[in-house]
A and B are shown apart, each in its own frame.
Chain A
Amino acid sequence: MPRPVDPITRSVVEHRLSSIVTEMGEAMLRTSYSQILNSSRDFSIGITDTQGRLVAQADHIPVHVGALPWATRAVEDRFRDVVPGDVFLMNDPYHGGSHLPDLTAFVPVFDGDERLFWTVVRAHQSDIGGSTYGAYNPDARDIWTEGLRVPPIRLTEAGRLREDLIDLLALNTRNGHDFRGDLAAMVGAATLGERRMTKLFAEFGGPVVLQAVEGLFDAAEQRARAIVATWADGVYEGEAFLDDDGHGREDIRIHARVTKRGSDVEVDLSASDPQSTSFVNSSHANMQSACAMAFAYLLDADVPKNAGAFRPLTVKAREGTIVWAEPGRPVTMCTSHPSDEIVEAIVKALSGACPARAMAGWGRRFRIALQGEDPRTGRGFIWHMFHARPGGGASSGGDGWSTAGEWHTVGGLKFGSVEFAEVRFPLHFRRHEFLPDSGGEGQFRGGLGAALDLVVETATPAVANTAGDGIRYGACGMQGGRDAAPHAYRLLSEGREPRRLKTKETGIPVRPGDVFEIRSGGGGGWGPPEARDPVARERDLAEELVSGKGDR
């Protein structure tokens, strides 16, 4: 073994790695075609080693972070004959992927003859085939209905691009043109990263970089362990529930049994409920990622998110449960549900070990997609609702962030301009404001959800689908804080009874002039409400964040 790399070389390599992933991310943002990528930034960038260990990542979507290693390993397992100039692609949840929309590209990085790393780009495709646009299909009963499955494939062979494979993929999506553009952007960003890594080897030599990376793993591990060591040893349990699976099953339980000993944490999800027939199942990689996400939230924000930081964490689960479905089951909902419930169960369990670190629950995702015709242009439109974000959970650090989103995005997703939406879609946002009383009460109050009254100004009937959860269970309170109000969405149509919307519906008829009355849930409260500072309480009333009416 060579002499360990000194801390300064290590820091230099760390900075280089971080600028490489940043540059890859910028390239991706600027060259991709789809709105979901170039505006909502639903993509992630990583560098992994040949063991699939995460070396560096750009902070994009938390739920992607812990999943890339599993995807890398799937590529490593499938291909033994990797050569420079190869590019690999995959999405299949039963081959290391999370869910079908998350397509992932890999470029191997060589130092001379030796393969050392992978540059990895994961991007959520706006469409991946299947029986509904955009892959979220509550009616799906198997993975094939959800879209095109791509096991690890070699897209480019030693620099020669397989155009025929791209044709095959593009033909199976609804927007082949954009798909090609996005794929080119992914491969371009990964290749850019590979070039930068090669330059890093030229400067320091591959062995020094490898040594430095080991040092970075060790340093992150030490930081994580130093934090975990301060938590109380013990065996803790936590649970969270999905409202339902849309196929008639309710109260689906996610159970976490967490053993904390010394500086190690073992999460055991084995006692979670059996798998479902619907898309609320989780894939294995996504379950692993949700556990890593929960663990990262409980550490300090600046602990590097590399494989070292996750060494103290062991995950156990049982195949055939809701958190790890058997091959063939549908899983598209999983990056939000049951990801959010897995996080919640783990954080709840560990609140016994590190009460000041355990934050209250963030809201759940409840999406609406509306399809119809714009009378101003005569053209069809599909609108995905990102407005009326739910509230963030309170914490020992203070009140929660209002309308900042769910556990799996935590403020990473932008909802966009109401004015813009009104220009581009036949929609009128009559009201879009904080929803008073929606945050869970506590010493620190949960962030508020939103009230949205949305008038559909089509001339002809439109149709809506929903996908999500959280109309029965609100975000959980913590340390004596109260749960937040759950979501409550209704469709108001003149001459009809108001229709309470469920979270997993397809084909909801919407008539011109109908109003979506959307009340999104808040974040959970932290600490007993009695402990709330009277000044803060008065301020909540004066600011009309709470109404002071009722028991809430």
Chain B
Amino acid sequence: MTQFRIGIDVGGTFTDLVAIDRTGTTVFAKSPSTPDDQSLGVLTGLEELARRLGLDLREMLSRTERIVHGTTVATNALLERKGAKVALLTTEGHRDVLEMREGLKDDRYDLRSAPPEPLVPRSLRIGVRERLRADGSVAVPLDEASLAEAVARVRASGATSVAVCYLHAYRNPAHEIATVERLARDLPDLYVTRSSDVLPQIKEYERVSTTVVNAYVGPAVQRYLTNLERRLREAGLSGSLFIILSHGGMAPVEEAGRLAAATVLSGPAGGVAGARRCAAMLGLPDLIPFDVGGTSTDISLIVDGQAALSGARGLAGERIALRSLDIASVAAGGGSLASFEDERFQVGPRSAGAVPGPACYGQGGTQAAVTDANLLLGYLDAEAFLGGRKRLDRAAAEAAADGLAPRLGLSREETALGIHRLINLKMADGIRLMTLRRGVDPRRFALLSFGGAAGLHAVEVARELEIPRVIVPTVASVLSAWGMLASDLRYEVSRTHVGESAAVDDDGLRAIFSDLEARATARLREWFDGPLRVERSAEMRYGEQVFEVDVPLDDLAWDAPALVARVHEQFHARHEALFTYASRDQEVVFVNARVAVVGAVAAPPVQAASASPSPASPGAQRRAYFDGWRDAPVYGIESLEPGMTITGPAIFEAETTTVIAGEGDVVTVDRHGWLDVRLRRERAADR
């Protein structure tokens, strides 16, 4: 009997669902998201998916071996400030670490804004008498009376969640564990989380902030996931339910509830997983995933087939120092609004949002948005938007552009073109930051275009950056949900060593890693009995530096002699590769040991398409702007067959996406039916 895997991606507007069976047959469904209780939209979507499979919901679920889910519950709780009431128990004398933010303030020239409210107000940041030294020894024992008083204050405050974070607890968790036990005994209904569990690493601001975020989003994530799992079980699911975490791996519901702060990028992580899967299918190891939505563009990086991870990032101004996929978000999308104020022409960051939307949506918007410009330039078809389900109002878009054009001293078309160019530049800036600031040259990458609006801009953005190639998969509009099905299980542990005064020897190093590996393996085995893979890395720096470099240690012979020296050499080499130099005469400091155990899941099969190199014929012609007004051919993506080649200018349309290829760009339909755009060679000073 057919078995399914189902990927579910809950976005701001739509919940995307993908089912793949064992033959690789792929079925999509979309349902409106239900922000108040995301599980409703998920259930509706599953019903739609079952309908498209010709099954009822129970039948489909009973034949589903795995559901993989990307959720935005934590993301929204943080962005909308709707998380739990949190109390923080911390070392006496240090209760303001969270609000001090190491003295940093983002916008240096904005001296007339009040500081942001911390997630935990000062009155709920409660000092407990205890203190550890930097080597983990006890300077002040945990004072029971002080703890009892703190617990009483938590009880009186009505907090529903507690974060416990003591100084140097990454070296010795005993005081935190005793505190958690006391809380569990006295206040059993509360969500309790401790820093030595969430992020056992040195640097108190990162640790306390991450632990507090975990406490803040934990109850909501736990509640939602528990409910969802119960509903799915009741509806007949017998297979497993996994949640995508910010690092792109997946974990069961219980683990996602424990480490809820690790789900804040659960949504976009699916897109990155999809991109990684594309890289594997295409045999293209270096890709820049480029996801354009209505208000923002998400950019990440696939290098050598792997997604880049980052150790420290934030969301909504809160620091979350868990490893997560390195995803940059730029405020540029189809809804970005053009303006000319104080002699300055700008597109974005203000967006028309879903309401009223761009002027051409005919919902009352009067200011020109990027989508309006794309309509006026002929890139979008007013009649065929969203597969014809939404008709765009050309007159409204014209009126919006006309509101701007005279003030710019330009024609309507020049204005539209200017909007299009400027938003492309902003998107290109985002890619520059993602690549150049990491020392990566974008010109050796291909751009992977997905999300509804990416195809309208991808080729021009690539041209701007001299990226030679753009790939548009057929699953572009539901890539996240599709990508989740190719995610692996992943469990990470880390430990701070700080080997400066106490230099570690070969055996000491082996012991640290084998201990971490044993712990991580034991944990993952609880969820998974397939093959496991271990990834080791260490964060190191030169003596006087403050930021570490994460050095992969997978290729080392662990049992051979001179292990420490070889680990140092890996660091020097990595430093040189990243920053152009190494200082081999300098002391190397070993800060964090990291182990990730990965349960590799077999990728879903791909349905092969048969090649039929018949010439492509456009379904229509449309007047559109390609270095001047042209009658450009319009192709239906679904009608194209592998092996076909089309030279631009050309417009490609599918139900939920449009792709623009410029003059001289060569578009090939690959064996998966995806568009593979090779950009024309640019002559210098061509403009």
Chain A residues proximal to chain B, CB less than 8 Å: 6-8, 10-12, 15, 19, 22-23, 26, 30-31, 33-35, 38-39, 59, 62, 178, 181, 202-205, 218-219, 222-223, 226, 296-297, 301-302, 305, 357, 359, 376-377, 386, 389, 392-393, 395-405, 410-420, 422-424, 428-434, 444, 447, 450, 453, 542-545
Contacts and interface: CB of A to CB of B under 8 A. Distances in A.
A444 B114 CA distance: 9
A418 B425 contact: no
Contacts of B346: 11
B479 interface: no
B436 interface: yes
B345 A10 contact: yes
Contact of B408 (A6, A23, A389, A543): A6
B52 interface: no
B102 A414 contact: yes
A302 B108 CA distance: 10
B277 interface: no
Nearest to B425: A15
Contacts of B654: none
B203 interface: yes
Interface string B93-137: 111110110111111111111110000011100000000011000
Given A62-B109, A417-B102, A419-B203, 6 more contacts: A6-B409, A19-B429, A410-B108, A418-B94, A434-B100, A434-B122
B437 A23 contact: yes
Nearest to A453: B93
Given A7-B345, A432-B94, A542-B123, A296 B109 contact: yes
Nearest to B169: A419
Contacts of A411: 103-106, 108
Given A26-B437, A203-B687, A301 B107 contact: yes
A389 B102 CA distance: 9
Contacts of A223: 342-344
Contacts of B111: 297, 301, 359, 392-393, 395, 410
B152 interface: no
Given A6-B410, A403-B100, A419-B204, A297 B109 contact: yes
Nearest to B131: A430
Contacts, number: 212
Contacts of B2: none
Nearest to A423: B134
Nearest to A407: B111
Nearest to A192: B436
Contact of A219 (B115, B139, B343, B547): B343
Given A419-B167, A420-B203, A434 B547 contact: no
Interface of B: 93-97, 99-100, 102-115, 121-123, 133-134, 139, 167-168, 170, 202-205, 340, 342-346, 408-410, 414, 417-418, 421-422, 425-426, 429, 432-433, 436-437, 439, 498, 500-501, 544-547, 578-581, 583, 684-685, 687
B685 A203 contact: yes
B156 to A, nearest CB: 13
Nearest to B106: A411
A335 B422 CA distance: 38
19 contacts: A7-B345, A8-B408, A12-B421, A31-B581, A34-B544, A203-B685, A219-B343, A305-B109, A397-B114, A399-B114, A401-B115, A411-B103, A412-B104, A417-B203, A419-B170, A428-B133, A429-B94, A434-B122, A450-B96
A430 B93 contact: yes
Nearest to A219: B343
Question: Which 10 interchain pairs have the tightest Cβ spacing?
Answer: A411-B105, A398-B114, A431-B93, A8-B418, A301-B110, A397-B112, A39-B546, A219-B343, A543-B122, A301-B109
A193 B646 CA distance: 39
A26 B342 contact: no
A351 B100 CA distance: 29
Nearest to B585: A177
A30 B439 contact: yes
Contact of A422 (B115, B133, B500): B133
B66 to A, nearest CB: 41
Contacts of B547: 38-39
A218 B342 CA distance: 11
Contacts of A296: 109
A415 B102 contact: yes
A208 B97 CA distance: 50
B505 to A, nearest CB: 17
B587 to A, nearest CB: 11
Contacts of B104: 404, 411-414
Contacts of A10: 345
A434 B114 CA distance: 17
Contacts of A410: 105, 108-109, 111
A374 to B, nearest CB: 8
B410 A35 contact: no
Nearest to B578: A30
Contacts of A377: 500-501
A398 B421 CA distance: 39
Contacts of A35: 544-546
Nearest to B687: A203
Most chain-B CB neighbours within 10 Å: which of A203, A226, A433?
A433
B113 A398 contact: yes
Nearest to B170: A419
B93 A222 contact: no
A433 B94 contact: yes
Nearest to A199: B684
Contacts of B203: 417, 419-420
A431 B108 CA distance: 28
A296 B110 CA distance: 10
Most chain-A CB neighbours within 10 Å: which of B107, B114, B204, B417?
B114
Contacts of A414: 102-104
A469 B123 CA distance: 32
Contacts of B202: 417, 419-420, 423
Contacts of A402: 96, 99-100, 115
A233 to B, nearest CB: 22
Nearest to B546: A39
A430 B131 CA distance: 9
A57 B455 CA distance: 33
B103 to A, nearest CB: 4
A178 B544 CA distance: 10
A416 B409 CA distance: 51
Nearest to B114: A398
Contacts of B103: 386, 389, 403-405, 411, 413-415
Nearest to A399: B114
Nearest to A222: B343
Given A35-B544, A396-B112, A15 B95 contact: no
Nearest to B115: A401
Nearest to B542: A33
A422 B203 CA distance: 11
Given A202-B685, A223-B343, A544 B134 contact: no
A349 B581 CA distance: 50
Given A411-B103, A418-B204, A543 B123 contact: yes
Contacts of B97: 418
Contacts of A544: 122-123
Given A15-B429, A301-B110, A412-B105, A31 B579 contact: yes
Contacts of B684: 202
A417 B205 contact: yes
B93 A59 contact: no
Contacts of B123: 542-544
A135 B233 CA distance: 70
Nearest to A59: B108
B501 A376 contact: yes
